[in-house]
Amino acid sequence: MVASSFIKIFSIVMLVALSISAQRECPSIQAENNDTEKKRFIVIFDKKVKNAAEDNYEIMKECYKIQVQNINSDEKNKVEEDKIFRRHRRAEDDHPTRNVDRIDQAKRPLNGKFIYPDSAGEGVNIFIVDGGISLTHREFGGRAKFGRAFCKGCEKEYDINKHGTIVASVAAGKTVGVARKANIIDVRVLSYKGGTTTDLIEGLSFVIHKHKNSKYKNSIVNMSLNVIPPSRALNNVVKEVTDAGIHMTVSAGNFETDACGQSPASAPSAITVGATFDTNDTIADFSNFGKCVDIFAPGVNAHGAEAYDDNGYVVFSGTSFSSPLVAGTLALLISKNGNKPPAELTKDLIKLSTKGVVKGLKHKKGTPNTFLRTPAP
Ligand SMILES: *[C@@H]1O[C@H](CO)[C@@H](O)[C@H](O)[C@H]1NC(C)=O
Ligand SMILES: *[C@@H]1O[C@H](CO)[C@@H](O)[C@H](O)[C@H]1NC(C)=O
Ligand SMILES: *[C@@H]1O[C@H](CO)[C@@H](O)[C@H](O)[C@H]1NC(C)=O
């Protein structure tokens, strides 16, 4: 970290080349083209020069009512564009589904509102690695795009299974979802007949590729699929995904057993999500548990978009529908506060979570008692 006194924001013309020593000359600046003229830049002074930041700041203030030339390329990396931060306005939904209603508050009773940052996951890509999404559903309002299909017999719109559409809508749907302005990318690895570990790994490799080539590196993967027994290959790819800076949420699984016994739930860098009842915060009877679970979210009677009716809805239960609530919450955090490496964002998520409200964990040793909470606006 650079000490804050070394960072100053200048409303100036363009790239700044700093002659770091505290000489009393104007540092040079050049306007590269007209597009950049009105931008603001953050100038980071070299640590070596103790008081240079303050000194130079005064000089800069005087100098840059003007234009200067000559870029010293060594200094380029010390200049970064000042990003525009959204103001944190709040948005409110007065008729949220119960699962979404629950996660913006610490305790019951539900208040019939879902209050969330107005940025709502804007600029974040949520990859749904699943059985396909019905992209035209009203919940998505054009924000859902096809990525690629890696399974046989799942390429066509009418081949998709229902699961992916529900999951996507819970993560980012405009009325049943959490991150209502996020982008959704459909990565298909599962047909009616199921999928293979290879399809899954190829799907995740595609996500890494897309992420690396995208302009905005705000990506989240949600995977509701698990293979038993744990797959070393799959867990390795999960590590590659998170190492690439992509956040990953996965379901704990629905076998009422230890989540460490499957993949990717057992992958350490994935955020593994267990399910609670929608009515009372008790762990759902089907939910997996144990130390590989990171967090709980409601997963019973989840309302989601129906695959073959653009205006239809269905109700489903499973840890598959808890995990997208977490994916959506990560998107809210990113659009509100900026992105971070996966391990750090996971820490923020756990810190924000409500502790001790999940019931029924007494005999499920090692299971953390953390319950999902969305960030305040
Ligand atoms: C910048 O804009 C001015 C006036 O609008 C124009 O004369 C000049 O050619 C432009 N320069 C570049 C690099 O586009
Ligand atoms: C999220 O993951 C869960 C469980 O891993 C899965 O059931 C669900 O389909 C996934 N949702 C999306 C949108 O990928
Ligand atoms: C929680 O609710 C579920 C279903 O709504 C019910 O089956 C279960 O017994 C309840 N648990 C507690 C501890 O109240």
Question: Domain segments of the chain: what residues?
Answer: 91-371
CATH class of 91-371: alpha beta
Out of 134, 137, 163, 247, pick the active-site residue: 163
pLDDT tops 50 at residue 32 = no
Locate 361 and state its tokens.
Answer: 């964990």
303 is catalytic: no
Q: Does residue 44 register a pLDDT over 60?
A: no
Burial class from Cβ neighbours inside 10 Å (0-12, 13-18, 19+) for residue 263 reads buried
Q: Is the CB of 69 under 6 A from ligand 1?
A: no
pLDDT at 63 over 80: no
- Average pLDDT, stretch 14-34? 44
Which tens digits make up the pLDDT trace of 172-200?
999 999 999 999 999 998 877 777 788 88
Task: Provide mean pLDDT across the span 296-318.
Answer: 94
Q: Using the 8-state DSSP alphabet, how is residue 137 labeled?
A: -
Gap from CA of 356 to ligand 2 centroid (Å): 25
pTM, entire model: 0.74
Beta bridge pairs of residue 15? 30
In the chain, DSSP finds a helix count (H) and a strand count (E) of 7, 18
Q: What is the structure's pLDDT at 81?
A: 45
> Would you state the torsion angle of the CA atoms of residues 118, 123, 124, 126, taken in this order, to the nearest 10 degrees?
100
pLDDT the model gives residue 14: 33
CA-closest residue to ligand 2 atom 4 = 224
Give residue-wise pLDDT tens across range 136-164: 999 999 999 999 998 877 777 666 778 88
Q: What is the pLDDT of residues 316-332, one digit of tens each?
A: 999 999 999 999 999 99
The alpha-carbon radius of gyration of the chain (Å, integer) is 24
Mutate to test the pocket of ligand 2, among 183, 286, 323 (most ligand atoms within 8 A of CB): 323
**Would the pLDDT of 42 be above 70?**
no
CB of 222 closer than 6 angstroms to any ligand 2 atom: yes
The gap from C-alpha 184 to its chain's centroid, in whole angstroms, comes to 11
Say what the pLDDT of residue 298 is: 97
Taking all residues of the chain, what is their mean pLDDT, rounded to a whole number?
80
**The predicted structure's pLDDT at residue 112:** 96
For residue 340, name the pLDDT band (cuts at 50, 70, 90).
very high
Q: Which of 29-43, 266-280, 334-348 has the lowest mean pLDDT?
A: 29-43
The answer to whether residue 348 scores a pLDDT higher than 90 is yes
Position 110 pLDDT exceeds 70? yes
**Range 340-367 average pLDDT:** 96
More confidently predicted of 220 and 304:
304
Label residue 65 by pLDDT band (50, 70, 90). very low
Q: Which two tokens stand for residue 8?
A: 């100053």
For residue 303, what pLDDT is reported? 94
